[in-house]
Amino acid sequence: MRVFVRIAILPSAIWCLAAPNAACAHAIIVSSSPAAGATVSGDAVAISLHFNSRIDRARSKLTLLAPNGAAQALTPAADAPADELKAEAARLSSGAWHLRWQVLSVDGHITRGDIPFIVH
Ligand SMILES: [Cu+2]
């Protein structure tokens, strides 16, 4: 299982590198459903991304990429815990999908990643 994480370097990131402590708490993904590389059955998928710190949900994005490359924005559920993004995806065709996430953590840093999964 491999999850790619890129950290956007903002001016405050320099401070972050100089002081790698509690002031540097950008959001790293801890676990996800579906997991990277997972195969899921059926055409409806409950999406849940768990991060190591609180995130700013209003400034975070979830995008589903279909097997044909079409992108669809998902609206994160408002009632999820402060360190999770949850969404529902329905009517998924069979094939190779990607879930792209971008989150803003409370320390002001943006992290992003891409979770590939198969709908069977
Ligand atoms: Cu940070």
Determine the Cα–Cα distance for residues 114 and 71; give it in Å rounded to an integer.
Answer: 13
C-alpha separations of 37 from 33, 34, 67, 84, 104 in Å:
10, 8, 14, 20, 24
Find the 115 Cα to ligand 1 centroid distance in Å.
21
Could you tell me which residues come within 8 angstroms of residue 96 by beta carbon, excluding any fewer than 6 positions away?
67, 116, 117, 118
Does 4-119 carry CATH code 2.60.40.1220?
A: yes
% of the chain at pLDDT higher than 90: 76
pLDDT band at 24 (very low <50, low <70, confident <90, very high): low
Find the 50 Cα to ligand 1 centroid distance in Å.
17
Find the 42 Cα to ligand 1 centroid distance in Å.
37
Q: Is the pLDDT of residue 29 over 70?
A: yes
pLDDT in tens, 57-76: 999 999 999 999 999 999 99
% of the chain at pLDDT higher than 70: 80
At residue 57, φ and ψ (nearest 5 deg) are: -60, -35
Find the 70 Cα to ligand 1 centroid distance in Å.
31
Q: Round the average pLDDT of the chain to a whole number and report it.
A: 87
Domain ranges of the chain: 4-119
Mean predicted confidence (pLDDT) in 31-58: 95
CB of 61 closer than 8 Å to CB of 101: yes
Determine the Cα–Cα distance for residues 115 and 33; give it in Å rounded to an integer.
Answer: 9
Find the 27 Cα to ligand 1 centroid distance in Å.
7
Find the 23 Cα to ligand 1 centroid distance in Å.
7
Give 11 or 81, the one with higher predicted confidence: 81
